A and B are shown apart, each in its own frame.
Chain A
Amino acid sequence: MSDNSDVEVEDEEEYKYGLQDDSEPQDTRPTVVLMGQKRSGKTSIRKVVFQKMSPNETMFVESTARITKDTVCSSFINFETIEFPGQMCPFDHTLDPVNTFKKCGALLFIIDAQDDYTDAIRKMADYFAKAYRINSKIKFEVFVHKADGLTEENRVETKFEVYHAVKEELKELGIKDLQVTYHLTSIYDHSIFEAFSKVVQNLVRQLPTLERLLDIFNQGSNVTKSFLFDISSKIYVATDSLPVEMSIYELCCDMIDVTLDISSIYGSGEYGIPFDEHSAAVIKLKKTESWSFYSAKSIDSWHSSRLCAVRTSKSRDISNTTSPVSRRASKKYST
Chain B
Amino acid sequence: MLKQKALIQVLEQANTNEVTSAILFNKEGLLLGQSGEEVSPTWISSIWACFDRRDLNESIIVMDEGIIGIAPVANMLLALKASKKAEIGMVRAKLRAMAKYLEGPISMIERDV
CB atoms of A and B under 8 A apart anywhere in the complex?
yes
B28: contacting residue among A1, A316, A324, CB under 8 A: A316
B29 and A316 within 8 A (CB): yes
B46 and A1 within 8 A (CB): yes
7 other A-B residue contacts (CB within 8 Å) besides A317-B29, A317-B30: A1-B43, A1-B46, A316-B42, A320-B29, A320-B30, A320-B40, A321-B42
Say whether B20 faces chain A, with CB atoms less than 8 Å apart: no
Say whether B35 faces chain A, with CB atoms less than 8 Å apart: no
CB proximity of B34 to chain A, nearest CB, Å: 12
C-beta contact mask, B20-44 vs A, less than 8 Å → 1, else 0?
0000000011110000000011110
A–B Cβ pairs within 8 angstroms, 24 of them: A1-B42, A1-B43, A1-B46, A316-B28, A316-B29, A316-B42, A316-B45, A316-B46, A317-B28, A317-B29, A317-B30, A317-B41, A317-B42, A317-B45, A319-B30, A320-B29, A320-B30, A320-B31, A320-B40, A320-B41, A320-B42, A321-B29, A321-B42, A324-B40
CB proximity of A315 to chain B, nearest CB, Å: 8
B-side contacts of A317, CB under 8 Å: 28-30, 41-42, 45
Docked CA distance A320–B25 (Å): 12
Docked CA distance A320–B41 (Å): 8
Contact-residue size bin, chain A (C-beta under 8 Å from the other chain): under 10
Contacts across chains A and B counted by CB atoms under 8 Å:
24
C-beta contact mask, A308-334 vs B, less than 8 Å → 1, else 0?
000000001101110010000000000
CB proximity of B29 to chain A, nearest CB, Å: 4
Docked CA distance A319–B31 (Å): 11
CB proximity of A59 to chain B, nearest CB, Å: 47
Docked CA distance A320–B40 (Å): 8
With both beta carbons as reference points, the residue of chain A lying nearest to B26 in the complex is identified as: A317
Docked CA distance A316–B28 (Å): 5
B-side contacts of A320, CB under 8 Å: 29-31, 40-42
Docked CA distance A3–B90 (Å): 34
A-side contacts of B31, CB under 8 Å: 320
Docked CA distance A165–B28 (Å): 59
B-side contacts of A316, CB under 8 Å: 28-29, 42, 45-46
Which residues of A52-89 are within 8 A (CB) of B? none
Docked CA distance A317–B44 (Å): 12
